[in-house]
Chain A
Amino acid sequence: MKNIILARVDDRLIHGQITIGWLNKINVDTIVIVDEELSKNNFLSNMTKKAAPDKYKVEIFNEESFINYYRNEKDEKLLVLTKRPQTYEKIQNISSIFEEINIGNIGSKDESIKIYKNIYLNPEEKEAIKNLLKKGCIVYAQLLPEDSKINFEKLI
């Protein structure tokens, strides 16, 4: 059985807030990154794996292969990271795997609007979060474990 300890959207994936913020507070053994582009890029996925703290296994998938991986029997405690909320939306459309999704950092791009501190959403990202909420997912903003959770129902 896979146990999802934290599922987060963070456009910098495994960065300082993860390595020295979250990983010291939560008990996981595997970091799973779901990102189509990254899974295709050998150099970057190699670097991502090498740079991650040694204690953790790092897996990089696209949406479909993640679902297959999730369904296998092996016991693992997961930290799931994606760059965009759309990734979770895509997965949830196939199978309701996630109950709670943490939104960490989404930087500004063209057409992005500021939602909260480090979170800027463009229309597609906003739509994806709305759909996740509609499906009964709890979506909340929380940068670091010490911060309080802020529900997205209030933010958008």
Chain B
Amino acid sequence: MTLLKFLLLGIIYYIGNSTSFTLGIGYFTLYRPVFSGLLTGIILGDPVTGFLSGAIINIFFIGFKSTGGSLKGGDPCLAGIVGAMIAVNFNIQGVGALAVAYPVSGVGILFWKYRLNLNSYYVKEGIRGLKKGDLNSINQYDIYYPQMSLLIFNTVLGSLLTFAIYKLMGVLVNLDIDFIKYLNFTGIILIVLSGAILSINHKWKYTIYFFTFFYVVGIFFKFDPYLIPIIIALLSVQKNRRIKESKNKFKEIKKQDLYKSWFIWMNFTHSCYSYEKLQGFAFAHSMVPIFKRLHKKNKEKLFDSILRHTEYFNTEPNIGTPIHGYIIRLEEEGKSPRQIKEVKEGLMGIMAGMGDSVTQTVLAPLTTMAVIYGALTGEYLLSVGGTLIMAASVVYLSLKGYLDGYYYGEAALEERIKFSKNSRIVKLFPVVFITSISIIISKAMLISISRISVDNIRWAALSLLIFYYIFYFLLNKKIKEELLLISVYLLGLVLFIFA
């Protein structure tokens, strides 16, 4: 591998990790292993292998969520890059790549803390600039400096890490023992363990039976991969209810101002994400076009208003947008800063709790599963479809929220709560999820086992259910996930020795 390629991998790490400049879609796509794996594959000249190994690694990360500045486990994007890199270079399959990529991805989380602290500094400087009457400072400190720092830092970190892993793997695969075989065994059990973890996290009365049934079906029957997404699509069809209240009658703010505000918000919610303000600085940034319109003749008021909105703020960026529309409306109505602050603070948590349990918990896993399933079965149209649905949902929900919040005010907020809580797919999610993931895991296991020399692939895949039951039982007894994850690496060793 040339140095340029390592550098490019570092840049992919930046793109996936930044999630900026992507209208909020990047977090649900480029940040996930199946996409970062594909991009890595493209750079290394083997997109098919990159995509497939990324997909298998993504099964392990399918339950990934980050709430309010907390980040746990591993960095999915980094896992995809590292995994796809070794899959392509050392002819290791996805599960084996996962066994290496998972522990390495923990490094990404370590640096998350420093990013949020560095951004605290940028926010402070940005606010100082605004206080001096320099409107440009919000662009500089919300976009330019944090993104430049991240670009440099992630490119260096990503390149160095992939380079180090590349060299290390070069040594390990040339050892006398069959190291790759050990990795594959370990990876297979890691996927089985993630099946058990997901079952526990989406537990209802029949989880274990559903998982067993569809896992077996997935192993012994071939069926049209489009069947699952069609069923999911039918379930998620929803009547688009009209809000009955009449639109507000204010004249000053134009629709284009709302679009501009939305555009800034969606691109930079997490551009300068800091412990101190979380999305507060991004919220203020998104209000710039609004106050430019409202206070175009009063410079002092313009800056005062923007500064007022730099306070601590955090919500689910897509579902939570009626807050923005509603706040804009209240600003135009000339409500007092105290009133506006109270509404904003009251609403951010409400929308965050509900929003996270829709987008991160339901929407992202469902569409990502479609992408993964497409990668496993070679039906790439399915992957494209899943990606498009995710992208369209993010844009539609966020923009509609923005506009409705402005035009319909409180009614729009209530409507969003109804939408999020009553949608059929949210209610049926545990069943749909366990069904789909068990089929996906069975397919992934068949692919993985077919490349290890065993007598009967199907029976070997079936026997893995024993591990699933053991893990399920242990997790149910409140044994810690971390402990099981470590023990999988030892278990892989045991299997390796006996095989």
Contacts and interface: CB of A to CB of B under 8 A. Distances in A.
Interface residues of A, number: 37
B276 interface: yes
Interface stretch (B67-75, B261-269, B455-463): B67-75
B316 interface: yes
A114 B68 contact: no
Nearest to B427: A54
Interface in A1-60: 10-21, 24, 37-38, 41, 43-44, 47-48, 50-54
A44 B346 contact: yes
Interface in B410-443: 410, 413-414, 417, 420-421
B376 to A, nearest CB: 27
Given A15-B353, A48-B350, A117-B113, A143 B276 contact: no
A108 interface: yes
Nearest to A83: B345
A19 B360 CA distance: 12
Given A14-B349, A107-B277, A109-B312, A20 B69 contact: no
A50 B278 contact: no
A52 B417 CA distance: 9
A21 B350 contact: no
Interface residues of B, number: 42
A105 interface: yes
A144 interface: yes
B361 interface: yes
A117 B67 CA distance: 14
B410 A15 contact: no
Interface in B35-85: 65, 67-70, 72
Contacts of B342: 37, 41, 44
B353 A18 contact: yes
Contacts of B348: 12, 15
Contacts of A37: 342
Contacts of B351: 51
Interface in B269-315: 275-278, 280, 311-312, 314-315
A146 interface: yes
Given A12-B352, A16-B316, A16-B356, A51 B417 contact: yes
Given A15-B348, A17-B67, A20-B67, A50 B361 contact: no
A11 B352 CA distance: 12
Contacts of B311: 107, 109
A125 to B, nearest CB: 13
A152 interface: no
A54 B316 CA distance: 19
A122 to B, nearest CB: 12
Contact of A47 (B113, B280, B346): B346
Given A15-B348, A41-B346, A47-B347, A52 B353 contact: yes
B70 A12 contact: no
B346 A16 contact: no
B277 to A, nearest CB: 7
A57 to B, nearest CB: 15
A146 B72 contact: yes
Given A14-B349, A47-B350, A107 B356 contact: no
A70 interface: no
A98 interface: no
A19 to B, nearest CB: 4
Contacts, number: 112
A15 B352 contact: yes
B355 interface: yes
Nearest to B276: A108
Contact of A15 (B67, B414, B421): B67
A113 B311 CA distance: 15
B67 A44 contact: no
17 contacts: A10-B349, A12-B349, A14-B349, A14-B350, A15-B353, A19-B353, A20-B67, A43-B410, A47-B347, A47-B414, A50-B414, A51-B420, A107-B312, A107-B314, A108-B312, A114-B275, A117-B113
A120 interface: yes
Given A44-B347, A53-B357, A20 B65 contact: yes
B357 A20 contact: yes
A96 interface: no
A101 B133 CA distance: 43
B346 A48 contact: yes
B300 to A, nearest CB: 20
A25 to B, nearest CB: 10
Contacts of B487: none
Interface in B306-352: 311-312, 314-316, 342-343, 345-352
A54 B418 CA distance: 12
A28 B400 CA distance: 35
B354 interface: yes
A21 B280 CA distance: 22
Nearest to A54: B421
B138 to A, nearest CB: 18
A50 B417 contact: yes
Contacts of B314: 12, 15, 107
A21 B361 CA distance: 11
A15 B113 contact: no
B72 A114 contact: no
A108 B312 CA distance: 7
Nearest to B356: A16
B124 to A, nearest CB: 10
Contacts of A93: none
B414 A20 contact: no
A146 B413 CA distance: 32
B111 to A, nearest CB: 14
Contacts of A52: 353
Nearest to B116: A117
Nearest to B201: A24
Nearest to A21: B67
B346 A38 contact: yes
